[in-house]
Amino acid sequence: MGNKAMSKPKGAFPMKRRWCSVIIGLVVTGLLVGGPGIQAQGDGDKPLVPIMPDNVGQLEQIQLLGPDQSVVTSVEFSRRNPDLLAFGSSAGYTYLWKFGESEVTKYEYQFGPIVDVAFNPELGYLASARPDLAALVWDIDPPKWSAAYMTGDSILTVAFSLDGYTLAFGGEDRIHVSDFESVPGGGFIGLQRIDTNEGPDAFHVIEEDSGQINSLAYSPDGIHIAAGIGGGNSIEPGGRVKIWNLETMMASRTLKGHTGAVLDVKYDSTGMLLASASADHTIRLWELELGRLVMTFLGHTDEVTAVAFSPDGTLLASVGSDGTLRFWDVATGEQVSLIDLTDSGANPVWDVDFSADGTMLATASEDGFVRLWAVKGE
C-alpha cells in the first residue's frame, strides 16, 4: 500500500461496516476522578524537558488520572499534539484527555473491555480494540461514534498508518468481516483503506496461520507492518515477530528467539530498529536490514507487557506484570532507571508511551490509573 499522499475531506469515512441493530455509541464529557496532580508546566515556571538517558533518574509523577476506577489497559499520545492522550479501560470506555484540563471525553460503545487504542491525527480519528469482536472508530472533533468492525472473533490490537489512511486490526482464531476468509486456528491481520468505496477489494487480509496477533506497529515509512505473535491458540512454541511488506502484501522477515509470546512491538523513529517485549521476561532489540538481534534487555521478573522508544530513539521504556517501569539506554543496553510501582498497587503495568515531544511519559495500570511522568527543568 505504501505511504501515499491523498486528499480526503475531514469527516468522510466510507468504511464498509457490519451493523448490528443494538449498537450504541455514546460520547460523554465528565470530570476526572483521582488526584489532581500538577497542571500544565508543573511547579511555577519550571518547564518540562525531554526525557533522556542522562536525566531520566529525575523523572517525577506529575498527574494521576482515574476516570472510572477500572483497569486501564492501554494508553497512547497523539503524534501531532503532545498534550493529547487517549486511553482505554476494562469498563469498556475509551478516553480522550488534554494535558492541563480538568475534564475528559469518554467514548462509550455498549459493554466490553477496551484492550488497545490508536490515534489517527491526520484525519482526526481514534480507534479502539475490543476482544469481544469489534474494532471501533471515533471522530475526535466533534467527538462522536463513527464506525464499528464486527469481526466475529477477538480484536486485540489496532494501529493507524502514519498517513492516517490505513487502519490495521489483529487478533486470533478466525475473522468474518466483509469478504475476509476464515482463518481457523490461527491469527489474522485485517487492513482497511479508509479513503475508498471500491467494495470487497478495499479489504485485505494478511493471514498468520499459527499465532495470536498481540500487537501491531507500522514502520515510519508506512511500507511495513510488524506483528508481535504468540500465546492464545498458537501452534508454534514461544513467540516471534513477523513483518510484512504492504506494497506486496507478502511476509518479508520473521524474527525468532523469544521463548514466550511477543506482547508488544515498536519501531524506533528511523525504522531501522525494532523492540519486542515478551512474556519470557525479556526485551529484544532488532536491526531490521539484516534481521539481526542487537541485544537482549534483562531485568524484568515477569511478563514485559509494553515498550516505547523516546522520539529521539536514545531511550527505551518498558513496563510489565512485575509492576515496574524501566528505562534502557538504547546505545549501550544499560538499565538507567527503575521505578517500582508495586507498593501503589499498580501492578501489572499494562502500557507505556512517550509524548511526541518527548517531555512526558504515560503508563496504564491495573489499579485504574494513568500516571503521567516528566522531568522538570531549571
pLDDT score, position 175: 29
Higher pLDDT, 370 or 144: 370
| C-alpha cell, 251 | 511476509
Highest mean pLDDT: which range of 44-48, 148-152, 212-216: 212-216
**Segment holding 66, helix H or strand E:** none
Is 354 in contact with 307 (CB distance < 8 Å)? Answer: no
* 205 found inside a domain: yes
CA distance to 169, 214, 225, 289, 325, per residue, from 2 (Å): 17, 23, 10, 18, 35
Q: What is the mean pLDDT of residues 142-146?
A: 80
pLDDT over 50 (residue 246): yes
* 206 found inside a domain: yes
HSE-up of residue 239 (Cα within 13 Å, Cβ side): 30
Q: Point out which residues pair with 119 in neighbouring strands.
A: 126
* 11 found inside a domain: no
pLDDT over 90 (residue 197): no
pLDDT averaged over every residue in the chain? 80
d(CA 89, CA 74): 7
Domain range enclosing 259: 69-314
- pLDDT confidence band for 192 (50 / 70 / 90): low
- pLDDT confidence band for 361 (50 / 70 / 90): very high
* 95 found inside a domain: yes
* 33 found inside a domain: no
Compute the 3-state secondary structure of the chain and give helix, strand, coil in percent, each to the nearest 5.
5, 50, 50
Is 173 in contact with 151 (CB distance < 8 Å)? Answer: no
* 132 found inside a domain: yes
pTM for the complete prediction? 0.85
* 135 found inside a domain: yes
If you write DSSP's letter for every residue of 293-312 in order, what string do you get? Answer: EEEEE---SS-EEEEEE-TT
d(CA 132, CA 154): 5
pLDDT score, position 178: 29
d(CA 255, CA 246): 18
pLDDT score, position 138: 86
CATH of the domain at 187: 2.130.10.10
Is 104 in contact with 97 (CB distance < 8 Å)? Answer: yes
Query: How many domains, in total, are found in the chain?
Result: 1
- pLDDT confidence band for 318 (50 / 70 / 90): very high
Higher pLDDT, 159 or 35: 159
Least confident window among 35-49, 213-227, 232-246, 277-291:
35-49
* 280 found inside a domain: yes
